[in-house]
Structure 1
């Protein structure tokens, strides 16, 4: 009995010390008034730093608003910091708003990343950025269809919706803007976010998960592929995206994961930025793209190429649709299995492409006739 009592006492003391240790290392949360005050002070400090740097810079500037919106994985904050470093390496003035819900104890190092602080940051940028400045908005978190998770101190808050993000970005007006979402099902945000002077990049289509967000992950697969492995500032964003999609697909195939189908939507008035080497973003010049037309079929990924090969053997009437993310979708006949879809195969293929959350769904062919315009 004595031995059992001693064991019980030791176990009790061990549990007590562990509880004390955990209590002393609790993660800071917006529900703590002192932590909230710290967060607001850091927001003001970041704005002051950005404005001061902006007044000292000449020419075009890049404004970075990065948000790691989840405390359940180290990958999200690492993603945000990686993108921030890469932009700094471009060699021009980069003005930064960095916010994170990564574990922060005792003292905040970043403001909390919430829908409210995102709106605040975008408002500040819109009030200071010039019409020719470039704005980069990056968000890394868990996601689902039309929502991005907001989790602080392992407590789930109201998510950021596609409508909320669209409304926030509208504050930037016509400023050239690049939006990058590293989250599952992030392609579902494309319909709300696409705009003429906006590039939208998502780590997955609207119906696919993306990977690399376990608790101790270094970076998400997509952010690592786009900004870590093979990053070259002399390449354009379009080229880097194509290379990243290849790397992600290869990694997912090796792990026997379903391909996440990363997407890139380029507004018609921002093609010049998508094709310009990143190191030249700060250089003055005409907002035009002097690149020759590209065969659209060359943009298809492996799955898209297979879909087009299958399409060619289908009976008419039929239609084939492509997305700028390299995916393909076709429809055959006038009697859909899903009666909510259009009977016309062209309209149905477009509807299916949009339902998947793919970027810039456009008709490529109807029957054997290519109708692609390249607009």
Structure 2
């Protein structure tokens, strides 16, 4: 009986040790979450973008991303130290240089039909965004999320077999939730709300789009922002295998 008990205990210990040593699905993935603006459309300071950055960091850590391989920053000028757009790109490049299995890039900001705000003076056009992502992430599996008005302008330039792109709006539509009383931009809030139950990035995109549509309809907001999703052929096969981590139930 004693021998049997010892065998059972050893079996449990071996199983637990093996589980603890099993690599996570996002081990070796670099991630970056940047709040690239801090103002309302009329220039008043707000917290919505920074609130989104804070809660997206928590959500993606819970989903299995590593803090050691995650870069996050706010580009607002009224904090110390001030991070410029160039400094943020250097930070993203540095973390992607050491974690090379995949990339998650998430930007939340204001946008126009031509570009996304990226700090006090910089603007990221679709061409510049595509060049930046090519240089930082290359051919590795990459998920890019752009939460901004008119962010659909980035889809065509970023699309590739190894990429998934999510945007908060069509190329010709604004998104909502950047007012002084908003906790998060609506799209970011829907991503944050959906992360704890979504199984993977495809499920997350679908849930976030449904959430945005429901909220806009409930508040009578028009025209609908219509968040966009583009999934490359390689990612269609890979993403279902990259399931988010969930705490044991």
2:83: which partner in 1?
112
Structure with larger Rg: 1
Q: 2:196 aligns with which of 199, 224, 232?
A: 232
Matches within 5 A, 1:94-113: 94=67, 95-102=69-76, 104-105=78-79, 107-108=80-81, 112-113=83-84
1:252: which partner in 2?
216
SS at match of 1:278: coil
Q: Does 1:197 align with 2:162?
A: yes
1:68: which partner in 2?
35
SS at match of 1:208: coil
Alignment partners' CA distance in 1, 2:197 and 2:214: 23
1:333: which partner in 2?
none
Q: Does 1:79 align with 2:46?
A: no
- 4+ runs deviating over 6 angstroms: none
Structure 2 length-normalised TM? 0.78
Confirm or deny: 8 A CA contact 1:237 1:276 kept in the other structure: no
RCO higher in 1 or 2 (8 Å CA, sep ≥ 6)? 2
SS at match of 2:229: strand
Confirm or deny: 8 A CA contact 1:74 1:218 kept in the other structure: yes
Shift, 1:124, TM fit: 1.5
Shift, 1:280, TM fit: 5.6
SS at match of 1:67: strand
1:315: which partner in 2?
none
After superposition, the Cα gap between the structure-2 partners of 1:149 and 1:231, relative to the gap in structure 1 and judged at 3 Å, is same
After superposition, the Cα gap between the structure-2 partners of 1:101 and 1:92, relative to the gap in structure 1 and judged at 3 Å, is closer
Alignment partners' CA distance in 2, 1:266 and 1:201: 9
Alignment partners' CA distance in 2, 1:188 and 1:266: 16
- Alpha-carbon displacement from aligned partner over 1:80-122 (angstroms, at most 9, x marks no partner): 22221111112453411111024644x33xx5251x2243134
After superposition, the Cα gap between the structure-2 partners of 1:76 and 1:113, relative to the gap in structure 1 and judged at 3 Å, is farther
Shift, 1:239, TM fit: 1.7
- Alpha-carbon displacement from aligned partner over 1:350-373 (angstroms, at most 9, x marks no partner): xxxxxxxxxxxxxxxxxxxxxxxx
Shift, 1:279, TM fit: 2.2
Confirm or deny: 8 A CA contact 1:100 1:112 kept in the other structure: yes
Confirm or deny: 8 A CA contact 1:66 1:137 kept in the other structure: yes
Deviates further, 70-79 or 192-201: 70-79
Alignment partners' CA distance in 1, 2:38 and 2:115: 17
Q: How many residues align?
A: 214
Shift, 1:235, TM fit: 1.4
Shift, 1:163, TM fit: 1.1
SS at match of 2:149: coil
SS at match of 1:139: strand
Alignment partners' CA distance in 2, 1:104 and 1:271: 41
Cα RMSD for the two superposed structures: 2.3
Confirm or deny: 8 A CA contact 2:63 2:196 kept in the other structure: no
Alignment partners' CA distance in 2, 1:185 and 1:220: 14
After superposition, the Cα gap between the structure-2 partners of 1:167 and 1:193, relative to the gap in structure 1 and judged at 3 Å, is same
Q: 1:129 aligns with which of 99, 102, 105?
A: 99
Confirm or deny: 8 A CA contact 2:75 2:119 kept in the other structure: yes
Alignment partners' CA distance in 1, 2:31 and 2:97: 14
SS at match of 1:212: coil
Confirm or deny: 8 A CA contact 2:198 2:204 kept in the other structure: no
Structure 1 length-normalised TM? 0.53
Shift, 1:61, TM fit: 2.3
After superposition, the Cα gap between the structure-2 partners of 1:122 and 1:101, relative to the gap in structure 1 and judged at 3 Å, is closer
After superposition, the Cα gap between the structure-2 partners of 1:113 and 1:87, relative to the gap in structure 1 and judged at 3 Å, is farther
Q: Does 1:178 align with 2:143?
A: yes
